[in-house]
Amino acid sequence: MQTKEIIREIERLKKEKNAIILAHYYARPEVQDIADYIGDSLGLSRQAAETQADVILFCGVHFMAETASIISPDKTILTPTEYAGCSLAEGASAKGLQKWKEKNPDGLVVSYVNTTAEVKAWTDYCCTSSNALKVVESLPKDKKILFGPDRNLGAYIREKTGRDMELWDAACFVHERISTEAILETLELYPDADILIHPESAGAHSQEVLTNERCFMYSTAGILKHARESDKKQFVIATEPEILHFLHKENTGKTFIPIQPENRCFHMKQSGLWEVLEALRLNRYEVKVPADIREKALFSIERMMAIG
Ligand code: 13P
Ligand code: SF4
């Protein structure tokens, strides 16, 4: 089948099934181009909650589809491939979290959205990279915070808030490679550029980076906003490089340099147009979080949504 035919058939099936396609900024460009909504983790969760569609085809990774299932249990949530993982979600187990809580009975558990539904079920407050700061700042000052699973995002939030935070020890394999040295090197190489850094990056919480006036830490949606609104012409992008597809679409006359062009998330690249078509045609692969886990996990997501 030709690409054009595949796209036509995807559009037809979407109408027939009252389906929408949600894609993350790290998804393959051709998948982003046919999506009804492209967003960061928070934006995608909001879309899953607000859509009138009966079917949501989620082109991201598994934990994102699970989050959609927790938020919208009456909708059919599909993913184009059977399982697209995430090194963060796989870095924390519900059992481990339970033990951590037992050791710290007065601690409040704040979990990054990059977690399994089971981990969310043991969580007090969920957060994404766009609202982690706000969520932590909203918690009672006398409470210790158990933050997981991303040690880099956790360390960044701890530096910014000065809160008493114990961190789980996991990291995203892509952002772990974006070190302080790599960031400092780009500052020298591109003296006119702003450096837009995802806080999952290993270098995002070092003093050299935190105090540099050309370094800015943002979620993927925040990176896009900064690039859109800035008068600068050159930006180094310190996150998964597929975000450049959207940056180029939105901005003409600006230059975007990926800090590490080959440092990609293979989980996010699993789905192409063919997999999207097959998912709609065959109603696969359905993601459904069991009701008992869903109820508990929803609590932490709703608390996050209420904070912002
Ligand atoms: P955000 O889209 O929330 O910035 O998170 C990035 C990410 O790593 C998603 O897997
Ligand atoms: Fe997970 Fe990192 Fe891939 Fe995002 S980029 S899905 S955090 S492994």
Ligand nearest to the CA of 89: 2
pLDDT tens, position by position, 230-289: 999 999 999 999 999 999 999 999 999 999 999 999 999 999 999 999 999 999 999 999
Residue 1 pLDDT class (50, 70, 90 cuts):
confident
Portion of the chain with pLDDT greater than 70, in percent: 100
Ligand 2 midpoint to CA 228 (Å) = 24
Residues of the chain with CATH 3.40.50.10800: 3-85+268-291, 89-173+294-307, 175-264
Class of domain 3-85+268-291: alpha beta
pLDDT tens, position by position, 261-274: 999 999 999 999 99
89-173+294-307 is classed CATH 2.70.50.30: no
Residues with CB under 6 A from ligand 2: 26, 61, 86-88, 114, 172-174, 240, 265, 267-268
Q: Say if CB 157 and CB 132 are below 8 A apart.
A: yes
**CATH of 175-264 among 3.30.930.10, 3.40.50.10800, 3.40.50.10190, 3.90.420.10:** 3.40.50.10800
Nearest Cα residue to atom 9 of ligand 1: 41
Closest listed residue to residue 219, CA positions, set 247, 204, 198: 198
Residues 6+ apart with CB under 8 A from 172: 86, 87, 88, 114, 150, 152, 200, 265
Ligand 1 midpoint to CA 5 (Å) = 31
Does residue 242 line the site of ligand 1, with CB under 6 A? no
Ligand 2 midpoint to CA 61 (Å) = 8
CA separation for the pair 7, 13 (Å, rounded): 10
Buried b / exposed e along 126-164 (16+ C-beta atoms within 10 A): bbbbbbbbebbeebeeeeebbbbbbbbbbbbbbbbbebe
The interface predicted TM-score of the complex, written ipTM, equals 0.97
CA separation for the pair 92, 266 (Å, rounded): 20
Closest listed residue to residue 75, CA positions, set 10, 15, 19: 19
Does residue 41 line the site of ligand 1, with CB under 6 A? yes
Residue 308 has pLDDT above 90, yes or no: no
Q: Which two tokens stand for residue 194?
A: 């702003």
Tokens 């990056």: give the residue.
Answer: 201
Residue 117 has pLDDT above 90, yes or no: yes
Residue 183 is predicted with a pLDDT of 98
Residue 209 is predicted with a pLDDT of 98
Ligand 2 atom at minimum distance from 87 CA: 8
Ligand 2 midpoint to CA 50 (Å) = 25
CA separation for the pair 44, 96 (Å, rounded): 28
Please state the pTM of the whole predicted model.
0.97
Cα dist. 166→41, 182, 208, 297 in Å?
24, 26, 22, 21
Closest listed residue to residue 293, CA positions, set 116, 168, 147: 116
pLDDT tens, position by position, 57-72: 999 999 999 999 999 9
Does residue 176 line the site of ligand 1, with CB under 6 A? no
Residue 265 is predicted with a pLDDT of 98
For the CA atoms of 289, 37, 228, 259, the dihedral, rounded to the nearest 10 degrees, stands at 60
CA separation for the pair 276, 95 (Å, rounded): 34
Residue 216 is predicted with a pLDDT of 98
